[in-house]
A and B are shown apart, each in its own frame.
Chain A
Amino acid sequence: DSGVTQTPKHLITATGQRVTLRCSPRSGDLSVYWYQQSLDQGLQFLIQYYNGEERAKGNILERFSAQQFPDLHSELNLSSLELGDSALYFCASSTRLVGTEAFFGQGTRLTVV
């Protein structure tokens, strides 16, 4: 158990819909990350927050947005969903901002039908 909690574990939704994925980082971790793992793309970095502020951004689609709240939990919002958004979405957290390992949650499997 990494200490990173993601909910829900599974999500099935229709195209065009909007979903919210939630992440609680390890106790004391200030940095939160979101990654997407799809079959053809591997693990792709989406975004990093540190103590509530966005600090690094990857190839995150404009239809996707994230935020980190004052209690340090984070949410990833995915809207206007397409079939190609079906993937595993991982949240990770770390104590420091840079140069440190990140600890991953078990992921949310999103299926868009």
Chain B
Amino acid sequence: DQQVKQNSPSLSVQEGRISILNCDYTNSMFDYFLWYKKYPAEGPTFLISISSIKDKNEDGRFTVFLNKSAKHLSLHIVPSQPGDSAVYFCAASEIRFGNQFYFGTGTSLTVIP
């Protein structure tokens, strides 16, 4: 039962353009959301998070948008750089049950120079 879904296994973007990664979830009780980046042979690296009381959070080139009514999360990377090429995972948790993250299956982003 996959509660967090990333329906695009891969995405290719030109350097300098915007990358938009999408994530959908089914559990309306999720109230904390995160994005992680992962390189091969490394652990996931935290990028950005958002609480359900907000609909947008920005950190440098990374912006996360949350649409609670649609149960949809997106990560915008502007401008995209070749070093951004990695697998991106979204994750969600229900705070009342601790910090248990439900991860999506990941989207592999390739930024073409």
Q: Which residues of A contact B (CB under 8 A)?
A: 2, 4, 31, 33, 35, 42-45, 48, 55-56, 58, 90, 92, 94, 96-107
CB of A102 within 8 A of CB of B95, answer: no
Interface size grouping (class) on chain B: 20 to 34
CB-CB contacts below 8 Å: B67-113 with A: 89, 91, 93, 95-106
Nearest CB in chain A: distance from B112 CB, A:
26
- Which B residues are CB-close (under 8 A) to A33? 99-101
CB of A102 within 8 A of CB of B101, answer: yes
Which residue in B42, B99, B103, B104 is a CB contact (below 8 Å) of A31? B99
CB of B95 within 8 A of CB of A99, answer: yes
CB of B99 within 8 A of CB of A42, answer: no
Nearest CB in chain B: distance from A111 CB, A:
15
Nearest CB in chain A: distance from B58 CB, A:
16
Which residue in A45, A55, A96, A104 is a CB contact (below 8 Å) of B43? A104
CB of A104 within 8 A of CB of B45, answer: yes
